[in-house]
Chains A and B, each alone.
Chain A
Amino acid sequence: MAKIIAGFGTSHTPAIGAALDLGKKAEPYWAPIFNGYAPAQKWMEEVKPDVVIMVYNDHVNAFDFKIIPTFAIGCADEFTIADEGWGARPVPVVKGYPEFAAHLVQSLVLDEFDITIVNDMQVDHGLTVPMSLAFGAPSAWPVKVIPLAVNVIQYPAPTGNRCYNLGKAIKAAVESWDEDLKVVIFGTGGMSHQIQGPRAGLVNKEFDTAFLDNLSKDPEALVKIQPLTYLRDAGNEAIELVMWLIMRGALGEQVDEAYRFYHVPASSTAVGHIILETREFHESRKARAAA
């Protein structure tokens, strides 16, 4: 049976991708960020997942304004990299898993989540920056990826509660797939940031710290955060954090925090990263380490 073994929360700031692509990794501005993700890459190398479910948002690249799906799952064989306005990122094409994606859609719709099916789309920094941060710069990505795009651009984004419950339904959908697969689910975007208007540049470290703490301590408290609170307290674009709650919902009741990193700034963004292992996976890793 397929199993979600861990969640990977991370910001997806486009400037991080640009810094990597332009060879600025070692510059003083960027080095703390890339050093902060080195343990995450080591964790990925040890764990070697088969499939990543990537919860992210498109930034007016795959989707223009003709159709705005709240939840969309990419069911294609592969996803090419979008030119967002300055040329496509020089990263490998993202390979999908159409059969597994189709199964997830089928299960989720029957579980009353009305998922939009996307059979042809490009992916942007929302997906590729987390891939780079988790897997470095390989010539081909070492995992299959199922993109799950969430509308957080046009208000209102789905609520935290809706996202958390979608995560629970994803867990059930994954576990009803009869193939031994290790799945890591990503929740991306955030943390506190605002990139528009005279208030641009807002950062709220207290909000972010509490959010990271409560992913393991008290997820129900996070689920109750209202849209207005994200916008007001953590910045207009911090609403992206609802996508982390899809990730959290898919991990079951108990999780163990394996790693955390927080840094301000990358461009206009507070960068946050966390690895949450399911209790079962965490115990099995501990047992293996002790043996």
Chain B
Amino acid sequence: MTKKEAYEDIPGTVVFDAQRARKGYFLNQFLYSLMQDVNRKEFLADEHTYLLKFPMTEDQRTAVMKRDWNTLLDLGGVSYALAKLAFTDGHSYQFMAAEMTGMTQEGYANMMIAGGRSLDGWRSKAERGEN
């Protein structure tokens, strides 16, 4: 095991590092396959059967089917690959980002229009009393 990285102290953020990339390799390769329309259609027609083509963990498959975005980040998915799942559902990056925050779509969009999320309170887990 590597020692705890400094970036693990950033709250609400999952840095896609070498260890997560390792864990998420087949999950991300599945997501990459959604670049092709024929694959998107096959996936949507029978999600679990399509997912069995990729040697990922059953936890990863379940999180895909539940569109459980934050769990997918924890299991090694990277946001740009996860976005392909959102696009396959007809959603946008912003839709996925809003879901990850737990805010409503409208609430998130309004926060952005008002200038975005402030760094205040979001600088460090230590500051927030997490971990």
The 8 Å CB contact of A264, one of B100, B101, B115, is: B115
Interface bracket on A = 35 or more
B129 interface residue (CB < 8 Å to A) = no
Residues A64 and B28 in contact in the complex (CB < 8 Å), given A203-B117, A231-B10 = yes
B92 interface residue (CB < 8 Å to A) = yes
A267 interface residue (CB < 8 Å to B) = yes
Residues of chain A with a CB closer than 8 A to B98's CB: 200
Residues A60 and B108 in contact in the complex (CB < 8 Å), given A14-B93, A82-B35, A195-B93 = no
Residues A198 and B12 in contact in the complex (CB < 8 Å), given A64-B28, A154-B78, A268-B97 = yes
| Contact status B117-A199, CB under 8 Å | yes
| Contact status B112-A65, CB under 8 Å | no
Residues of chain A with a CB closer than 8 A to B35's CB: 61, 82-85
| Contact status A228-B6, CB under 8 Å | yes
B17 interface residue (CB < 8 Å to A) = yes
Residues A199 and B87 in contact in the complex (CB < 8 Å), given A205-B115, A268-B112 = no
| Contact status A60-B80, CB under 8 Å | yes
Q: Whole-angstrom distance between the alpha carbons of A228 and B15 in the complex?
A: 10
B83 interface residue (CB < 8 Å to A) = yes
Main secondary structure of the interface of A (DSSP, over half): loop
The 8 Å CB contact of B13, one of A18, A196, A227, is: A196
| Contact status B83-A155, CB under 8 Å | no
| Contact status B36-A197, CB under 8 Å | no
| Contact status A232-B111, CB under 8 Å | no
Residues of chain B with a CB closer than 8 A to A86's CB: 87
- Chain B residue, CB-CB nearest to A202: B117
| Contact status B88-A201, CB under 8 Å | no
Nearest CB on B from A70, distance (A): 13
B70 interface residue (CB < 8 Å to A) = yes
Contact with A along B93-125 (1 / 0, CB 8 A): 110111011100000100111011111001110
Residue among B92, B98, B116, B119 with most chain A CB within 10 A? B116
- 29 contacting pairs across A/B (C-beta < 8 A): A15-B94, A60-B32, A60-B81, A65-B32, A83-B35, A83-B37, A84-B87, A153-B80, A154-B18, A154-B21, A155-B17, A194-B117, A195-B97, A196-B79, A197-B70, A199-B11, A200-B101, A201-B101, A201-B111, A201-B117, A202-B119, A202-B122, A203-B112, A203-B117, A233-B119, A264-B115, A265-B112, A267-B97, A268-B116
Add 6 more A-B contacts to A85-B83, A202-B119, A264-B116 (CB < 8 A). A60-B78, A154-B21, A198-B102, A204-B119, A232-B123, A265-B116
> Which A residues form the contact surface with B (CB < 8 A)?
14-15, 18, 29, 59-61, 64-66, 82-87, 153-156, 192, 194-205, 227-228, 231-233, 236-237, 264-265, 267-268, 270
Lowest 6 A-B CB distances belong to which pairs?
Answer: A203-B116, A199-B12, A85-B87, A198-B12, A196-B79, A265-B112
